[in-house]
Structure formats: C-alpha cells, structure tokens
Structure 1
Amino acid sequence: MSAVKIVCLNGWGGKLYQDLLPFVESAAPDILCLQEVVHTPASAKDWLTYRDGDHILPQRANFFRDVSMALPNHVAVFCPAAQGILWDDDQQVPSQWGLATFVHKSIPIIGQAQGFVHKTYSPVGYGDHPRSRSAHGVRVYDYAASRAISVTHMHGLRDLRGKMDTPDRADQAHKLLDLSRQVSEPDDVVVICGDFNVEPDSETLSILSTAGLSELVTGRNFSSTRNSHYKKPGKFADYMLINDTEAVQGFNVLYEPEVSDHCPLVLTL
C-alpha cells in the first residue's frame, strides 16, 4: 500500500545545510513543511550574518533555493513573514525570512491558504519582538487511498520572556486552526504541525486538542524535539497533530542525523 510521508522541520536558517540537504533528499518526503527559511534574491553569497543585539547567527543566504534544488521534483512555495537586513561584513543585504512548503509533483495540490498567525507582513525590517509569523496550508489528493489530506504549518512566535502562555499565543492558535479549516473539507485527514515555541502543557495545544486533533509527539511519549545543538532548557518546541489517528502508519522524532537544532518530525499516512 502506497503511503504519504510528511516531514516537518525548523531548518535553523540553513546553519547545518550540508547535513540537511542530503537528509531531505534521502528522506524523500511527499510533503516537507520547513520553518526558518531564508530567501535572499539580492545576493549570490552562500552565507550572510543575522544580527539582533548579541544574537548573532550565520544564515544560509539562499536556503530556499538550496532546498528547492535538493527537491527538484517538488512544487516549492515560500511564505515570507518579513524582509529585514542580513550582513555581508559591513554591507547590509535585504533578505526575506519565513517558511516554505514542498509538495511532490506527483501529488495534486487542490487547495492552498497562506496567512499570518501573528501581526502581518513586515516589509521594512524584521520588526519588534514578538515578530510577524506566517502559516501555510495545502490540501492534496492521495490517489492511493482515495482521500484528501490537508497539511498546515506555522513557526510560532518567539517571546523573549519564554514559552509561557500569552494572549498572543492563544490568538495565534485560533488563527492557525482557522487557516487549516480554510483548506480542509469534512472528510479530510487533517494535519497541523510546526515549531510552535510552546511547552507540552500549553494553551496552544489545548486549543488544538479541543478542536479534535491528537498531538503525536507527546501522545507517543517522545521526550524531546531538540538535539545536542540546543543548549537551553526546555526540550520541546515542535509538534504534529492529526484528526484521525487511525490514518497514522508511522510517526517518529528523528534524533539522528542532526540537521538543525530541531529534530525532524516524520509522519507516514
């Protein structure tokens, strides 16, 4: 029986792209939901630098292009949340930041929705924290199982105070749910995933659970979605929820290979 493989991953701005690209090639996801994606058409450089006070990170300048090239048989959609500045030594380079969805060309995309779960597009600068956050949903048709599947993902807002519940995060969860509903029909298998930036006992997951979705990371007793590259306390960030657990053929949190400071979530339907 043919299966549909969905992979969800925060790509960490492509910091470990040399490991991430071979991983996505070999994993061969039918649908890849990728957060923290950099797209810098204004530069041909491989690497630029992100600076936010003492928060300095190398950024793979054209990470979206890199992943698109690694998945040449996928439709690639980039969804920017903001355009800000990266640095080439002392030169400023305008760069877009957001998330991307990759769907294998053999799978028909029969619906899409793109929107914001926090604030709106920030065209000049990344903005004040907590910053704009986008989400993207696709509805595809799975011929092998004669069903439609909707997959919606987001990169949840980062609050400098931590991962506690806030009104903004509750509002974000409701907007994510609304976006999923825009691309879903009553008989669909519905998947919602992403780097939510919340703890397992969060209001965000409670809101999604109340809507009839089962969370697979904690529900299957995985102890973390982070790996050795993440040095801070709090080992959960990424989640994957589904409305029909009987449709799940397999689910895993991959601790190896390490392709980011987040672990890939892999769902087989």
Structure 2
Amino acid sequence: MMRTILTVLVWMWALGAVAQEPVELITYNIRMNTSGDGEHAWPYRKDDVAALFRFHRADIFCVQEALPEQMDDLQAAFPDFTYEGVGRDDGKRLGEFSAVFYNHKRFKKLDGGTFWLSDTPEACSFGWDAACRRVCSWVELEDLETGEILHVFNTHFDHRGEEARRESAQLILDRIEEISEGSGAVVLCGDFNLAPDSEPISLIQSKLHDAFLVTEQAPYSSVATYHGFTYDDPPRDRIDYVFVSDDVKVLRYGGLTDSRDRSFFSDHLPVLVTLQFVNK
C-alpha cells in the first residue's frame, strides 16, 4: 500500500515538473529594411538578429516592422519555427508584419489571425487618426508536452495618432477577451510607442500585468528600449512591452543590450521574458 502511495506521489510530482517548463519569449522591433540606414541596414545585421534569438533560446519571438524579405530571412534561419502574421498593407505580404514566430516542435497552433487597429478590424484599414495601417497578430498555442494553452498577441501602435493609440488599446483588450474566452494564459507584447505613464498603457494594465513590474527576478540591464542606433548614448524611452494575464508568472525580464563592434542590431532593444504558467 505504501509503495502504491509513493508511486502515485512520484507520478504527480513528475506531471507537475512537466507543467512548470518555462517559456522563453522575446519581443523585438527589428527595424524595417531600408537602404537609407546605411551601415545599419538589414543586410548588415540580419545574421546578428537571428543569432540573438538563437543564443537566448527563444521558444517564441515576436517581431515588429518586419518587411516580407525580413520575414523570409527569419523563416530561413529558423526552420523549426512557424509564424502567424500578415503584411499590414494588403493582409498578405505587402507592408510591415507584427508576427509571432513559435517553435512548432514545442507548440501546436490551435487558432490564429490578424486584425487591424481600426473601427473595421477585419478589413485592411487605417484606424482613427493613425498615420499608418496598424495590426495585431495573434496565435493560440498548445504546449505539446503539457497541454497548456497560451495566447500570444503582438502589435505595433501608431507613432503619431493619439486617438488611435487609445482606441487600439481598448480594441485589443476586447479582442483578447473574445478570443481567449477568459481561459488560457495570455501574453500581449510589442512596440506601443507610449511611455509607461500614458493613458493607453494604464488601460492595458487594468486587465494585464506589465512584465517589467511583476518579474520575480529584478529587471536585467536596460530599462529603456529605444535608442535610434546611438550606441554611446543611453536608450531613452521604454516603449516596448510585455503584458501577461494573472495565470502567467514572470520569472525573468531583461532589456537586452547585445551588440557587435559598438553597434546594436536594431534601433530598439529586444525584451526577453521567462514565463511560467500558473494553475488558477
């Protein structure tokens, strides 16, 4: 009898150990491919961007400003990954992507899609006073080892439209509730072009937690995330975020300052989080 009890306890412990496997997630505005960037143009840094994701062992990485050729480069560099996302200017391959790459050897896609940050979110459209079309791409994933469900949302808010940023925040919160149906872990990340004390960020924080503020281990390295390729000046603004639902524990948070030859790999710094699911 005692042996049976011990066997059951060991089995339950083993299941718990599997369920606690952390997820390494990186969000990174990789800067669009434009020849006007000179020595910082994409062809000179694409290998470093891929190496960063690989070195930090990302299970999921979310990119902003990625043009079709950049998406192709990343897909070629990560054959074990699949992405969810479309070009914002035609819903296919035209314009910037806000895509979610995930390791398909660890995760199975259950659902996914893209909506536009506008009052007609199902149509390729401009929203409110935005200068550009903006999107949010999302994917519902099942961890193949544990069966746990994770919803990842990735976005890039407009850099000019104040109304657009406010309305975008509310739209995304509404869509998160609709898509997740109140169950399964949620991660929202991206370049929000907003300071932490702004109204739209406060709105998001009314439903989700800023990973920077709730990480169990003190935030590592840089707090700010935007620097504009100025290596010798400290990054100026924290405008890139990861938000999580109640059932996601943030074990680590870092604003990564990886560089080569005194040059960063983008005009933003990537944010790395180590996440763990929490049973409610």
**TM-score of the pair, normalised by structure 2:** 0.72
**Matched residue, 2:62:** 33
1:105 and 1:249 map into 2 onto residues whose CA distance is: 23
Identify, as 1 or 2, the structure richer in strand: 1
From 56, 64, 76, the equivalent of 1:69 is 76
Alignment of 1:209-228 (within 5 A): 209-211=205-207, 213-218=208-213, 223-227=223-227
From 191, 198, 211, the equivalent of 2:194 is 198
Contact persistence 1:24–1:70 (CA under 8 A): no
From 10, 13, 21, the equivalent of 2:29 is 10
Counting aligned pairs with the same residue, the percent is 23
The letter for the 2-side match of 1:28 is R
2:32 and 2:227 map into 1 onto residues whose CA distance is: 16
Confirm whether residue 121 of structure 1 aligns to residue 154 of structure 2.
no
1:245 and 1:264 map into 2 onto residues whose CA distance is: 24
The letter for the 1-side match of 2:239 is A
CA distance 1:223–1:3, change in 2 (3 Å): closer
**Matched residue, 1:168:** 164
From 263, 266, 269, the equivalent of 2:272 is 266
From 183, 186, 204, the equivalent of 1:187 is 183
Identify, as 1 or 2, the structure richer in helix: 2
Moved over 3 A (4+): 143-146, 218-222, 230-234
CA distance 1:170–1:70, change in 2 (3 Å): same
The letter for the 2-side match of 1:138 is V
1:232 and 1:134 map into 2 onto residues whose CA distance is: 30
1:75 and 1:227 map into 2 onto residues whose CA distance is: 29
Alpha-carbon distance, 1:143 to partner:
4.2
Greater Rg over alpha carbons, structure: 2
Structure 2 residue matching 1:81: 3-state secondary structure:
coil
2:144 and 2:169 map into 1 onto residues whose CA distance is: 31
2:51 and 2:138 map into 1 onto residues whose CA distance is: 25
The letter for the 2-side match of 1:223 is V
Contact persistence 2:82–2:102 (CA under 8 A): yes
Alpha-carbon distance, 1:227 to partner:
4.1
Q: CA RMSD in A?
A: 2.7
1:145 and 1:250 map into 2 onto residues whose CA distance is: 21
Contact persistence 1:118–1:157 (CA under 8 A): no
**Matched residue, 1:247:** 249
Post-superposition CA distance 1:43-95 (Å, at most 9, x none): xxxxxxxxxxxxxxxxxxx1110010111111123321126xxxxxxxxxx95
2:234 and 2:133 map into 1 onto residues whose CA distance is: 23
The letter for the 1-side match of 2:251 is Q
Alpha-carbon distance, 1:140 to partner:
0.9
CA distance 1:188–1:137, change in 2 (3 Å): same
For these two proteins, the number of residue pairs brought into alignment is 227
Post-superposition CA distance 1:117-150 (Å, at most 9, x none): 1475269xxxx95111011111111244442111
CA distance 1:246–1:159, change in 2 (3 Å): closer
CA distance 1:268–1:145, change in 2 (3 Å): farther
**Matched residue, 1:52:** none
**TM-score of the pair, normalised by structure 1:** 0.75
Contact persistence 2:186–2:248 (CA under 8 A): no
Contact persistence 1:151–1:180 (CA under 8 A): no
